[in-house]
Chain A
């Protein structure tokens, strides 16, 4: 059975998104470990180091995702143990104008996320489901084939970013 790690960022105290996501991921065939609200980054990293996960979902709705999640993604991606899918969704910014969300999404992708699902886009759940569907029906190698170019670019950029750029 595939395993998913469900978390949020350390300043986000919301729960319903996590309760919902736990049900949803379970229904999509994942065994879910739900770390609960206000997840410290260190706890996510410990979880990743101690157990294998096929998917990490960061669900956040307090508008601070764009501030806290880039460093979380960089930390997860810099651990040798995690090379699988890492996604973020919810309300990623206090300012949800299309331009702001686009810019912040780009930054999150650049930091190591494979996909960003901001709910300012009304079709975002369909996109999320498609993403999960691809993840369930194909093994990781095939998903990499589908998203191959993007992944390589993101990961190689992150390594450079870790050294040179502060988000």
Chain B
């Protein structure tokens, strides 16, 4: 089994950032085709299997009904398909291309999925007890923490070189202060490694200002090196995950801004979108076009332009993130308990997240520089105000 983290670290150092699609199809044959197309593409890629949303919520009946009626799911139903078939398509990729495959799932209770990963021979996935519970589910945080502890045990004892990417740099995709995203990344990373996971990656989703993103990524690198050993982690970034530009030009521009950051900040991996993302699930051809486009752009002069560091914003993010981390860690020696206590006391809070274990003690505002900042007051408090803040990148890039 390949070491996901080592592969990413080495390959990104040698060839530039690794580019990864979001890709998941209902049927084994099409998934296989998608994996091969990604591996063969003219990009420094690794492969992705994204699971469907019935599997994410453990609704196997939903999968069976949909497939029996020949309907299309929004991802690959890994629990439904014969594990030998999944194992075969994954081992082909490892054998023929020496490329790792990551399972992307979005499940607050992933133990069954992790068990299946062990059976089919995959050691890399993503998520965490916070990032896959609070924004995306109604499972109590306490229950998610327990299941993630169990899941980490299953994966770390079942495969060699287990790897999990924390998803907490992407909470709700937009309108979250980067300081909160970074604190949650470190906290979730500590949870995963303390529960036996061999290596991790930290995530960061593009915001509404390249300058603020640069400050945030600089803090993330600094804090990651404070809490984790060198070479035991890498950093992955996401092209904007919120309300996405609708035009092809908008897609190109928003992607280019992220790729610029990937180069200047020497990030190891990037997960890209496709121009159809705002409308529907992309097909194989569209996925491949987008990773090849990103690979090409990464080598362009535009994407190598230096970006200025806003030292004041760096200090603000560092101070707030560091405080959130130390306040959380002081709650309990057990990191899982520390997470539960911090959310129940409101030390940690995610703006606009509807989960009943999220106290909604924090609010944000976007200032005239496009910085997303924690705010004492809830200034985003009407449908028109919310939509205009969610649409910042549409207004900026869809010109």
Among B1-9, B90-98, B130-138, the stretch that binds chain A is B130-138
Q: Which residues of A contact B242 (CB under 8 A)?
A: 16
User: Which A1-45 residues have a C-beta within 8 angstroms of B?
Assistant: 10-13, 15-16, 18-20, 23-24, 27, 34, 36-39
User: Which A77-117 residues have a C-beta within 8 angstroms of B?
Assistant: 91, 93-96
A96 touches B354 (CB 8 A): no
Separation in Å of the A147 CB from the closest CB of chain B?
25
CA distance A62 to B135 in the complex (A): 14
CA distance A93 to B65 in the complex (A): 16
Q: Known: A68-B62, A94-B72, A120-B279. Is A12-B53 also a contact (CB below 8 A)?
A: yes
Residue A151 CB within 8 A of the other chain: no
B54 touches A24 (CB 8 A): no
B280 touches A95 (CB 8 A): yes
Q: Which residues of B contact A34 (CB under 8 A)?
A: 354
Among B212-220, B291-299, B366-374, B380-388, the stretch that binds chain A is B380-388
Residue B353 CB within 8 A of the other chain: yes
Separation in Å of the B29 CB from the closest CB of chain A?
17
CA distance A94 to B277 in the complex (A): 11
Q: Known: A19-B354, A20-B387. Is A63-B138 also a contact (CB below 8 A)?
A: no
CA distance A11 to B55 in the complex (A): 9
Residue B57 CB within 8 A of the other chain: yes
Report B205-243 CB contacts with A as 1/0, cut-off 8 Å. Answer: 000000000000000000000000000000000000011
B352 touches A94 (CB 8 A): no
Which listed residue (B354, B356, B382, B390) contacts A18, Cβ 8 A?
Answer: B354
Separation in Å of the B24 CB from the closest CB of chain A?
11
Q: Which residue of A lies closest to B281 (CB)?
A: A94
User: Which A60-74 residues have a C-beta within 8 angstroms of B?
Assistant: 62-64, 66-68
Separation in Å of the A55 CB from the closest CB of chain B?
16
Q: Known: A34-B354, A36-B138. Is A91-B383 also a contact (CB below 8 A)?
A: no
B281 touches A63 (CB 8 A): yes
CA distance A91 to B390 in the complex (A): 18
Report B20-63 CB contacts with A as 1/0, cut-off 8 Å. Answer: 00000000000000000000000000000000011011010010
CA distance A27 to B385 in the complex (A): 12
User: Which B327-353 residues have a C-beta within 8 angstroms of A?
Assistant: 352-353
Q: Which residues of A contact B65 (CB under 8 A)?
A: 67
Q: Which residues of B contact A13 (CB under 8 A)?
A: 53, 56-57, 106, 135-137
Separation in Å of the B291 CB from the closest CB of chain A?
21
Instruction: Count residues of B near A (Cβ-Cβ below 8 Å).
Output: 36
Residue B71 CB within 8 A of the other chain: yes
Residue B187 CB within 8 A of the other chain: no
Residue B309 CB within 8 A of the other chain: no
Q: Which residues of A contact B174 (CB under 8 A)?
A: 16
CA distance A41 to B356 in the complex (A): 18
Interface size class, chain A: 20 to 34
Report B162-186 CB contacts with A as 1/0, cut-off 8 Å. Answer: 0000000000111000000000000
Which listed residue (B54, B135, B354) contacts A11, Cβ 8 A?
Answer: B54
B57 touches A15 (CB 8 A): no
User: Which B104-124 residues have a C-beta within 8 angstroms of A?
Assistant: 106
Separation in Å of the B274 CB from the closest CB of chain A?
14
CA distance A58 to B382 in the complex (A): 20
Residue B261 CB within 8 A of the other chain: no
B387 touches A37 (CB 8 A): no
Q: Which residues of A contact B354 (CB under 8 A)?
A: 15, 18-19, 34, 36-37
CA distance A13 to B355 in the complex (A): 11
Q: Which residues of B contact A19 (CB under 8 A)?
A: 352, 354, 386
A64 touches B243 (CB 8 A): no
CA distance A16 to B137 in the complex (A): 13
CA distance A76 to B261 in the complex (A): 49
Q: Which residue of A lies closest to B53 (CB)?
A: A11
User: Which B58-101 residues have a C-beta within 8 angstroms of A?
Assistant: 59, 62, 65-66, 71-74
Which residues of B are interface residues toward A (Cβ below 8 A)?
A: 53-54, 56-57, 59, 62, 65-66, 71-74, 106, 135-138, 172-174, 242-243, 279-281, 352-356, 381-383, 386-387, 390
Q: List 29 A-B contacts (CB under 8 A).
A: A11-B53, A11-B56, A11-B59, A11-B62, A13-B53, A13-B135, A13-B136, A15-B135, A15-B172, A16-B173, A16-B390, A19-B354, A20-B383, A20-B386, A20-B387, A23-B383, A27-B382, A36-B354, A37-B136, A37-B137, A39-B138, A62-B53, A66-B71, A67-B62, A67-B66, A91-B280, A93-B280, A94-B281, A95-B72
The 9 A-B pairs with the shortest beta carbon distances in the complex, nearest first, are: A13-B136, A23-B383, A11-B53, A24-B383, A36-B354, A96-B280, A94-B281, A63-B74, A94-B72
